[in-house]
Homo-oligomer: A and B are copies of this chain.
């Protein structure tokens, strides 16, 4: 194999596939990038067996071939070579990487060891902008469950109905929902995509509003295609929680509050909470104002925020981290919070239900 590249293009492509390379593993091949040059096309692939990323990279093929190479070492070397042309030559699994007057020789691994992407045929897909995909992930990913005890909770539901995409995550204490209008109408579809996949894809897609991502679905896989890159991941099997039954539009109190002010206040309250604590932030909602208070072994905080209120007065406690996560996900300046009583979930939602955040309250000593 003998290939040459422009350094910048090789570095960019490597950075993309690196996201699917294991750093912690006992199988050395999973720490590798696979380089394959044939039929006038150079492809690079990373595959940690949960997530696989393949991207095309521009370059000149002087001799076809394929080889696996330690991803971190390869990435470090090409980044440190001088700007300009980089040549990669492989002979009996020894790889020479050269640029300028610099020549590295490192050991590669046989192409046979590397698990390539399964080839999957499917007609089912949707198309969204990179920007939208990145945003819906950011706005929901925080409420997947932190551990794998319940596999279903470690993923997100993607539910397509006509021209609506509904994305849902939940962890047993809260639910996050985003509804997105699609540009076309599709057949109904429900899949559960692993949270890790969504996190990685949202890190690697550039996020342009005018570039599209095609999301293909097969029985067991989801495939994201954008630009020259393909990201493939297994789906989580099973039927997702019936979220619609948990969502209600009834309320007895509705408040409207400036998001920035409320978020600042919540973040101050968090200064008094140690990692392991489950101390509530207590909201005392009255006409025109909300008292915010937090008391822990470290100290106490009391403050007051102006609000607009409909309905009765209420005193209610929440996990401040859950409130903070939801606030950070919302882009609106003013938000509406709907409550029933101190024991029923509150809902933070906009008029169009483009987002719905359900949070269970926690007990507090009045």
**Which of A32-40, A128-136, A302-310, A337-345 forms contacts with chain B?**
A302-310
Q: A102 at interface (Cβ–Cβ under 8 A)?
A: yes
Contacts of A303 in B (CB 8 A): 100-103
Tell which of A104-112, A151-159, A168-176, A189-197 binds the partner.
Answer: A104-112
The 8 A CB mask of A239-278 against B (1 = contact, 0 = none) is 0000000000000000000000000110110011000000
**With a CB–CB cut-off of 8 A, which chain B residues contact A300?**
104-106
A185 to chain B, nearest CB (A): 47
Cβ 8 A contact of A268, one of B81, B105, B264, B265:
B81
- Report if A104-B264 is in contact (Cβ < 8 Å); known contacts: A77-B271, A271-B76, A271-B77: no
Whether the pair A298, B80 counts as a contact (CB closer than 8 A) is no
Copies in the complex: 2
A301 lies within 8 A of chain B by Cβ? yes
Task: Report if A62 contacts B (CB, 8 A).
Answer: no
In the docked arrangement, what's the CA distance between A82 and B267, Å? 12
Q: A80-B268, A264-B82 are in contact. Are A101 and B305 (CB under 8 A)?
A: yes
A299 contacts the other chain (Cβ, under 8 Å)?
Answer: yes
Q: Within A59-85, which residues are at the interface with B (CB < 8 Å)?
A: 73, 76-77, 80-82
Q: Across the interface, which residues of B come within 8 angstroms of A304, CB to CB?
A: 101
Contact partner of A106 among B73, B77, B264, B298, CB < 8 A? B298
Q: Mark A305-344, 1 if CB is under 8 A from B, else 0.
A: 1000000000000000000000000000000000000000
Contact partner of A80 (CB less than 8 A), chosen from B100, B105, B264, B305, is: B264
Q: Is the CB of A299 within 8 A of B80?
A: no
A: contact size bracket: 20 to 34
A305 proximity list for chain B (CB < 8 A): 101
In the complex, A303→B102 CA distance in Å? 4
Q: Please report the C-alpha to C-alpha distance between residue A76 and residue B274 in the assembled complex, in whole angstroms.
A: 13
A303 to B305, CA, bound (A): 65
Given the complex, which residues of B lie within 8 Å of A271, measured CB to CB? Answer: 73, 76-77, 80
Using CB atoms and an 8 Å cutoff, list the residues of chain A in contact with chain B.
Answer: 73, 76-77, 80-82, 100-107, 264-265, 267-268, 271-272, 298-305
30 interchain pairs (CB within 8 A)?
A: A73-B271, A73-B299, A77-B268, A77-B271, A80-B264, A80-B267, A80-B268, A81-B268, A82-B264, A100-B303, A101-B303, A101-B304, A101-B305, A102-B265, A102-B268, A102-B302, A102-B303, A103-B301, A103-B302, A103-B303, A104-B272, A104-B299, A104-B300, A104-B301, A105-B300, A105-B301, A106-B298, A106-B299, A106-B300, A107-B299
